[in-house]
Amino acid sequence: MSKFDSDSLKKILYLDVGNSSIKGAFRQGFDWETIHPKGSFSASDLIKWIGDHPQKFELIVLSGVRKDVLEAVRMNLENVSLKEITIQDVPRDLLDYETVDTLGIDRFLACYGATGQTSSSVVVIDAGTAITVDFMDQDDVFRGGVIAPGLPYFMEILPKKAPALPNVDIALPKNWPGKSTKESLQWGQAGFYKMALEKMMEMYEMKFGPFDLFITGGNGSLIDTIVEKESRLRPYLVFEGMERLVNRKN
């Protein structure tokens, strides 16, 4: 019998609509369980999956940055109870941000999920298609952050523009500076991110004081290997932020 075949499993399904994929998860006791075996769904995959598992969720909560995908999901799931979380659902006093209407809700939710796990301020590195480095204080106020190209996409630039250069793994060499073309490329790619991220964290600490570092996103484990500061790798931060915000509003 499938683990989805029992009515006792009715619960809330959380959906995160990102720039390039849809991810979904639900609580299984204290743990999270994803609905996508290969990391992410397309909109059509998601709609089919929900159609194959009818009446298993009392509510579907979704948020995201792709309005076209959100609209497609809403149109094709008319018979399912849906709740969309937008930036307008966040109390304005929790947003120290000038252009609130353009703030990706996932950035706030990842930070909000992190502050729910500590009494300290947090920096959250969310490593996906883009990499964001955001700060939220211990009072849950989002203070802003940084958006940059994701590491794997950044590493595609040179092979496309300078194909004579060798491809290299995302790793930090032992030597500084690089003593070979491979090492030089690794310092210019993985090392570039390491130094940039650590400088950003230094600037956050200078401006706001101590914080706990959380890392999430599809490439979070890669970032975790190149950043020296003690960190907590949490793949479900956005879902934890969604759950926490829903509970707060309820």
To the query of whether residue 7 is one of the catalytic residues in this protein, the response is no
Tokens of 196: 């940039």
HSE (CB half, 13 Å, CA atoms) of 124? 33
Catalytic residue among 5, 31, 106, 134: 106
Contact partners, residue 16, CB within 8 Å, separation at least 6: 22, 23, 24, 62, 63, 64, 106, 238, 239, 242
Which residue type sits at 77? L
Q: Give exposure, 199-237, as e/b (b: 16+ Cβ within 10 Å).
A: ebbeebeeeeeebbbbbbbbbbebbbebbeeebbbbbbb
Return d(Cα 241, Cα 243) in angstroms, integer.
Answer: 5
Alpha carbon distance 104, 89 (integer Å): 13
The set of catalytic residues is 106
